Amino acid sequence: MISKPNKVHINLTALAQNLDQIRSLLATNTQIMGVVKADAYGHGLLPISRTLEQNRIDCLGVAYLKEALFLRKNGSKLPIMVLCGINTMEESQKVVENNLTPVIYDPVVAERLSRESISQGKKTRVHIKVDTGMGRLGIHYQDIGNFVKKILPLKGLEIEALITHLSSADEQEQTFTTTQIQNFKMAIREVQAMGLELPLNSMANSAGIMKYKDSHFNLVRPGIALYGGLPANDFASPVRLKPVMTFYGQVLQVRDVQDNTPLSYARTHYTKGPRRIAILSAGYSNGLSRLLSNRGKVIIRGIKFPIVGRICMNLTICDITGSNAIKPGDKAVFLGSQDNTAITAEKIAHWADTISYEVFCSIGQNNNKEYV
């Protein structure tokens, strides 16, 4: 059997522990949706969802119908919400058949769902998307009453909740988020005054869960926190989260090079004096951003070394001058820890001018995963 030089390890025990940490921030009657969209942020949709289900998650959230159908096909019995909604009659049929919960923001879609629900003799639960300040999908909170009046007479639908999304809860400034919370409360009151109970209203993402108790409502939607990441690179978590993903490659070659030697494409790095370099087995095809070129670091034998030169499609170079023990076959940790030295997704995101979400998705979706 040929060994693979690059590996992504997914620690499912850490995932379960992170879920427990999130629970510790909530009232006992607050339900939790595990957000598993985008292949569970690159961690693997099915193994992550099964682990969450085994650890008493209340429901799952995906972006699109395809993900929900995959989970149903593979045995998931939990409520599953399709967060980006649906469009076609065929999608309405699949939603009703598989007892899924779509987010809706279009009366035409609501009518289709109603007809399909009546046809199949079922009641379909829906959550109405409210725009409280995100400026993305949804009905503006001031228009929510008119929207509900249009769909309230439709048979076969159960309006289970209003759902909205926080745009800035990870930021230091709090005024905008506080305003969003007040806007959502206003929308809830207006719809409840129409006779709807709305038992599962939902607003809080990971940042909201950790920073804004008023945003919890009936159901919270942790995503990045489940995977041990932070909503922003400088975000202070009130609980101890454990990284779920580790990514490492191998040292393929160790070389001694002379002063003023150009390294990698476009000669963006010239050595200053004689240097020892290691050529590593991963590159941007494995989800390492080219923005890590001459900025990022990697851990070998418990020591951080700088990435030098442009990251290539399949290879990366680092400067290991002064470490004569490193040899081909040694593990090179791009994300994770070794001998009490760590590189977090937030640190990679800082080097690459991005966010930890993108780091996880890029690495997870470009490498085979092993579950431990």
Q: Among residues 268, 255, 264, 303, which one has the least CA distance to residue 284?
A: 264
* Residue 285 · residue 313 · CB < 8 Å: yes
Rounded CA gap, 176 and 174, in Å? 6
Dihedrals phi, psi of 79, to nearest 5 degrees: -60, 135
Query: Is residue 265 flagged as an active site residue?
Result: yes
Cβ neighbours for 278, distance < 8 A, ≥ 6 positions apart: 251, 253, 254, 255, 300, 305, 317, 318, 320, 326, 330, 332
Which of 4, 66, 149, 265 is flagged as catalytic? Answer: 265
Query: Is residue 248 flagged as an active site residue?
Result: no
Cβ neighbours for 305, distance < 8 A, ≥ 6 positions apart: 278, 297, 298, 299, 318, 319, 320, 323
E strand residue ranges, the chain? 7-10, 31-35, 59-62, 80-82, 101-104, 124-131, 139-140, 157-163, 219-220, 245-257, 262-263, 269-270, 275-280, 297-300, 303-306, 316-319, 331-338, 341-343, 369-371
Beta bridge partners of 298: 305
Please identify every residue annotated as catalytic.
37, 265
